């Protein structure tokens, strides 16, 4: 966050300096032309007297001075217009440096943008595969961001996004029709083409479950289900118990970041994985842990070994799937 703010501040100061410079230069030139003009008025009568002629012709340098002044003012007008366009372009994209523990869904929420759009603007096909320190581009104006790919042309982009070619060129202040690969172009007024992201099942799997996006879960180990989620003797069971031999490797059920590792009463040696969008999974009763907090894991990354720590009568994994603090039935999410 600090770094992002640093970048923005730096840009702001640069802009401020450029603006102040222009204003100062203009003041100087206007003052100079007034001074020269004043000097001319003082000198002129003497000149006329010396010529001893009644000529009313303007000396040519007065015209030159006038042209010079007009030219200078026109130059400033164009320069100001260019600066305004540059500011608009610069302000249209905000940068966000990803901090530890942040998820793409969370960042999208903070900026009030669609997760799919944010992913598209940054060429992210798997929202769970973002790294701490990566810088995200966030569009703040209506439209979408397009990262120039090899072979892209203005004409092709215009037709792809149904936006006038000139509009794209103007907004992005493109000097030539040549597009630089990897550059991000603002496509003003365009809709984000989310097709690329929709192909990734991790984003939209749970569209049918009330529009809530859930990660794709896999089984964390092979074993025998010994206790289901729900009421049982002694109270409600908030997880799924899977028995397996002591030391069996437990893998992360989905990609994410290790949120917590440690010992908790009843759970024994446990860990949780943050999958983003408020989703996490919990693995309890382990004999050992293979990961540390803050570590990024994929679905299938070994995270622990089966044990009987905490309240357990034999070696088994107690698995929980949690969304925004609510413990859900893991069987509903496992394939
Ligand atoms: Zn259990």
Per CATH, 93-200 and 224-332 having the same topology is answered: no
Instruction: Confirm if 89 and 186 have CB atoms less than 8 A apart.
Output: yes
Distance 228 CA to ligand 1 centre (A): 8
Distance 306 CA to ligand 1 centre (A): 13
Distance 101 CA to ligand 1 centre (A): 27
Distance 258 CA to ligand 1 centre (A): 20
C-alpha–C-alpha distance, residues 95 and 6, integer Å: 11
Residue ranges for the chain with pLDDT beneath 50: 1-6, 9, 12-14, 16, 46-50, 52-54, 195-211
**In which residue are the tokens 């996006």 written?**
213
C-alpha closest to that of 331 among 176, 219, 224: 219
**What is residue 202's predicted lDDT score, i.e. its pLDDT?**
37
**What is residue 195's predicted lDDT score, i.e. its pLDDT?**
44
**In which residue are the tokens 């092979």 written?**
222
**What is residue 32's predicted lDDT score, i.e. its pLDDT?**
67
Instruction: Confirm if 328 and 322 have CB atoms less than 8 A apart.
Output: yes
CB atoms within 10 A of CB 323: 16
**What is residue 28's predicted lDDT score, i.e. its pLDDT?**
67
Distance 238 CA to ligand 1 centre (A): 7
Instruction: Confirm if 239 and 247 have CB atoms less than 8 A apart.
Output: no
**What is residue 40's predicted lDDT score, i.e. its pLDDT?**
57
Q: Domain ranges in the chain?
A: 2-91, 93-200, 224-332
**235-237 vs 230-232, strand pairing mode:** antiparallel
Distance 163 CA to ligand 1 centre (A): 56
Distance 274 CA to ligand 1 centre (A): 20
C-alpha–C-alpha distance, residues 86 and 33, integer Å: 29
**What is residue 319's predicted lDDT score, i.e. its pLDDT?**
97
Distance 319 CA to ligand 1 centre (A): 7
Distance 239 CA to ligand 1 centre (A): 5
Distance 300 CA to ligand 1 centre (A): 21
Distance 11 CA to ligand 1 centre (A): 54
Question: 224-332, what's its fold?
Answer: Glucose Permease (Domain IIA) (2.70.70)
Which two three-digit tokens encode residue 328?
């859900």
Distance 227 CA to ligand 1 centre (A): 7
If one looks up domain 93-200 in CATH, what number appears?
3.10.350.10
């Amino acid at each position: 966050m600090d770094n992002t703010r640093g970048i923005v501040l730096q840009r702001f100061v640069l802009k401020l300096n450029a603006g102040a410079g222009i204003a100062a230069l203009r003041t100087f030139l206007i003052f100079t032309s007034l001074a020269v003009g004043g000097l001319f008025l003082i000198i002129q009568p003497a000149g006329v007297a010396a010529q001893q002629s009644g000529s009313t012709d303007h000396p040519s340098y007065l015209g030159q001075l006038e042209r010079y002044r007009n030219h200078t003012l026109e130059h400033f007008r164009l320069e100001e217009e260019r600066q305004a366009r540059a500011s608009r372009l610069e302000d249209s994209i905000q940068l966000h440096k990803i901090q530890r523990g942040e998820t793409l869904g969370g960042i999208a929420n903070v900026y009030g943008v669609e997760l799919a759009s944010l992913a598209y603007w940054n060429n992210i096909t798997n929202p769970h595969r973002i790294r701490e320190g990566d810088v995200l581009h966030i569009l703040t104006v209506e439209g979408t961001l397009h990262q120039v790919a090899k072979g892209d042309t203005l004409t092709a982009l215009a037709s792809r996004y149904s936006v006038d070619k000139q509009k794209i060129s103007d907004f992005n202040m493109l000097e030539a029709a040549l597009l630089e690969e990897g550059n991000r172009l603002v496509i003003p007024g365009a809709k984000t083409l989310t097709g690329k992201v929709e192909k990734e099942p991790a984003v939209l799997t749970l569209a049918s479950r009330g529009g809530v996006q859930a990660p794709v879960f896999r089984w964390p180990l092979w074993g025998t289900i010994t206790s289901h989620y729900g009421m049982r003797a002694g109270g409600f069971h908030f997880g799924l118990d899977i028995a397996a031999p002591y030391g069996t490797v437990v893998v992360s059920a989905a990609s994410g970041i290790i949120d917590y590792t440690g010992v908790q009463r009843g759970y024994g040696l446990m860990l949780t994985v943050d999958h983003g969008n408020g989703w996490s999974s919990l693995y309890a009763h382990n004999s050992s842990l293979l990961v540390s907090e803050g570590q990024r894991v994929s679905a299938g990354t070994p995270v622990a070994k089966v044990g009987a720590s905490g309240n357990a009568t034999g070696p088994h994994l107690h698995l929980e799937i949690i969304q925004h603090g609510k413990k859900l039935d893991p069987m509903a999410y496992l394939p």
